[in-house]
Amino acid sequence: FFFGSMSRLGTFLRKSPKYIFGAATISGGAYLYQWKSFEFFFDEPHPEDKPRLVVLGTGWAAMSLLSEIDCEKYNVSIVSPRNYFVFTPFLPCTTVGTIEWNHCIESVRRVLFRFRKRAKYYEAAASDIDFENNKVTCSDVLKKDDDPTKSFELPYEQLVIALGADNNTFNTKGVYEHATFLKSLEDAKAIRKRILNNFEQAALPSTTEEERRRLLHFVIVGGGPTGVEFAAELHDYVHDDLSKYFAKECKKYLKITIVEGMDRVLNAFDKEIAKYTQEKFKRNGVEVITKTFVTGVGGETIDFMDARTKERTTHPHGLVVWATGITTKPVVKGFMSKLGTHQKNARALTVDGRLTVKGCTNVYGIGDCSTIQCEKLETLLDSLWNQQEYVKDGGLTFETFQKFVADHRKQHVQLDFLGDRLEQLFEKHDTEKNALLSKSEFKKLIQEADSKITALPPTAQVAAQQGSYIAQRLNHLGDTRHSVMPFAYNHRGSFAYVGSDEAVYDSDMIKLKGGAAFWGRNTAYLSKLFSWESKRNIMWDLFWSKWFGRDIATY
């Protein structure tokens, strides 16, 4: 393939160098010109007359919003303690240097510049929100708590909360002290350093056999995509690179273990795919232990409990990577408690079907920090059935059904999803074909509507789509011609890398395993990066780390 395309490229170049170089020069020149000539005033004061939009966070949800928001309509301020966006799907790659850390992030300020967004960025953490007076309190995270200049207030007309979530430890003891998460760039750096330190230590003559075995036992807690991808990357790193530069015996001591509480890895994926992944891991020497919980993590040991037999065992480890999912951030819980009953007993910031935070009118919650809660229509069935307005002759005609939908679509977004399929639906559920929906027929119909509202997974895909949705909503706020449909999630499938240039892909339509999924993943992810710079850097990294190996210096 390579040779074929090389000679085709040769023919092409021989035939048309003038055109290529002409085009390259012109487009390159134009690109450089616009890049260099744009004058950008971050210090231009915000004009007074525009409503103020404050965005909290610089993750998937916030950045997707920012890339689409119309900065001519709002004075936009962004608050986040981290002045860059992390492209999380490639984060597992950075733990072993398949991709360099700094290539998997994008500077917020540079993204704003690139998208020509006259927004202000503040490197601070939102610590409090005054929902009544529309103000966010932000803290300079680099200052000490008692510094009077630590915090400042940002008033808002519109507020978007996109703070993401914390790692969930299920209160397992020792996790914060002795395990490493895999959520931030710092986590990825710490993991890489630890892997290399352990190999170097294992190579010393003073290290005992037993210690070598401990140092080179890598335990991954959680068989979700993050855990699976990290195991796959670690396997590749050891087999492609470390085994070349370290004594062969290191390989002898090496052990990679994935511990999963459920009965298989990749629970959110198709069963076939999970099976394929486990078989692949078996071939690659990665041990998968299912139906087992971790009950404690120590500096050098980890405790397992078999979910069925309740038997407990202790194992030495050199590194524990904890990837078992997420929980609500304390700061978000603080916001929730301020909203009182509207957020009572909720496990995350509850938003309605249009992503407005419950209890507010001008505050939106998107991404991992929020969860959509819609009242089930089914619970209202009896009270509806008593309303003379709709129910005639013991049932709903198509007209009264239409009226019912029109009257209730604001409160019950599920009805919005029915869109222009009302006639179809009515016919479908009118099983008696008497142009009248009986109570039991109507129940079936609203059950179908309810089923459209399922809890969305905490993924970048959801976060990005929600960010884009709120951007469009805000861009058209007050525009009466623009009716606001509730947020509808469009699942484009999930990838997981499983090692040695193979991946799996699961969508409603297509399931893929192997090399094709690997290339699909790379292509799909590359297309999602905000800047050409990152695309270029990551392509370059993938190519070079494949052909010339990953670096093994402990920097």
Ligand X SMILES: Cc1cc2nc3c(=O)[nH]c(=O)nc-3n(C[C@H](O)[C@H](O)[C@H](O)COP(=O)(O)OP(=O)(O)OC[C@H]3O[C@@H](n4cnc5c(N)ncnc54)[C@H](O)[C@@H]3O)c2cc1C
Q: Is 149 in the site for its own copies (CB under 8 A)?
A: yes
Q: Is 503 in the site for ligand X (CB under 6 A)?
A: no
Q: Looking only at residues 232 through 251 of this chain, which bind ligand X when binding is defined by CB under 6 A?
A: none
191, 182 in Cβ contact below 8 A?
Answer: yes
Give the amino acid at 313. T
If you write DSSP's letter for every residue of 190-231 in order, what string do you get?
A: HHHHHHHHHHHHHTSTTS-HHHHHHHTEEEEE--SHHHHHHH
x/- binding map, residues 442-481, to its own copies, per CB under 8 A?
A: ----------------------------------------
Q: Is 295 in the site for its own copies (CB under 8 A)?
A: no
Q: Is 337 in the site for its own copies (CB under 8 A)?
A: no
Q: Is 545 in the site for ligand X (CB under 6 A)?
A: no
Which tokens sit at 425? Answer: 């639906």
Whole-number minimum distance, CB 382 to ligand X, in Å?
A: 38
**Count of residues in contact with its own copies, rule CB under 8 A:** 70
Residue closer to ligand X, measured from CB, 438 or 472 = 472
Q: Which of 116, 144, 248, 481 binds its own copies (CB under 8 A)?
A: 248
> Per this entry, what is the length of the chain?
555
Which tokens sit at 395? Answer: 């049932």
If you write DSSP's letter for every residue of 427-459 in order, what string do you get?
A: HHH-TT-SS-B-HHHHHHHHHHHHHT--PPPS-
129: helix, strand or coil: strand
Q: Looking only at residues 86 through 105 of this chain, which bind ligand X when binding is defined by CB under 6 A?
A: 88-89, 91-92
Q: CB under 5 to 8 A by kind: which of ligand X, its own copies, none does 367 bind?
A: ligand X
HSE (side-chain half, CA atoms, 13 Å) at 309:
6
Q: Looking only at residues 399 through 458 of this chain, which bind ligand X when binding is defined by CB under 6 A?
A: 458
Which long-range contacts (C-beta less than 8 Å, at least 24 apart) are formed by 440-444? Answer: 441/395, 442/381, 442/385, 442/395, 442/396, 443/378, 443/381
Q: CB under 5 to 8 A by kind: which of ligand X, its own copies, none does 458 bind?
A: ligand X
- CB 435: neighbour CB atoms within 10 A? 12
291, 306 in Cβ contact below 8 A?
Answer: yes
Phi (first) and psi of residue 316, to 5 degrees: -70, 145
Residue closer to ligand X, measured from CB, 415 or 464 = 464
DSSP for residue 369: G
Q: Which of 1, 4, 14, 209 binds its own copies (CB under 8 A)?
A: 14
How far, in Å, CA of 333 to CA of 164, rounded?
12
479: helix, strand or coil: coil
Residue closer to ligand X, measured from CB, 108 or 259 = 108
Whole-number minimum distance, CB 333 to its own copies, in Å?
A: 25
Residue closer to its own copies, measured from CB, 196 or 302 = 196
First and final CA of the chain: distance in angstroms? Answer: 37
Q: Is 79 in the site for ligand X (CB under 6 A)?
A: yes
Q: Looking only at residues 340 through 379 of this chain, which bind ligand X when binding is defined by CB under 6 A?
A: 367-369
222, 325 in Cβ contact below 8 A?
Answer: yes
Q: Looking only at residues 181 through 210 of this chain, which bind ligand X when binding is defined by CB under 6 A?
A: 182-183
Which tokens sit at 60? Answer: 């998937």
Q: Is 222 in the site for ligand X (CB under 6 A)?
A: no
548: helix, strand or coil: helix
Contact region with its own copies (CB under 8 A), list: 48-56, 148-156, 161-169, 470-478:
148-156
Contact region with its own copies (CB under 8 A), list: 82-90, 277-285, 417-425, 426-434:
82-90
367, 406 in Cβ contact below 8 A?
Answer: no
How far, in Å, CA of 525 to CA of 527, rounded?
5
Q: Which residues bind ligand X (CB under 6 A)?
A: 56-62, 79-82, 88-89, 91-92, 125-126, 162-164, 182-183, 225-226, 331, 367-369, 458-461, 463
Q: Which residues bind its own copies (CB under 8 A)?
A: 3, 6-7, 9-11, 13-14, 17-18, 21, 25, 32, 35, 40-43, 82-84, 100-102, 105-110, 113, 121-124, 140, 142, 149-152, 185, 196-197, 200-201, 203-208, 211, 244-249, 533, 540, 544, 547-549, 551-555
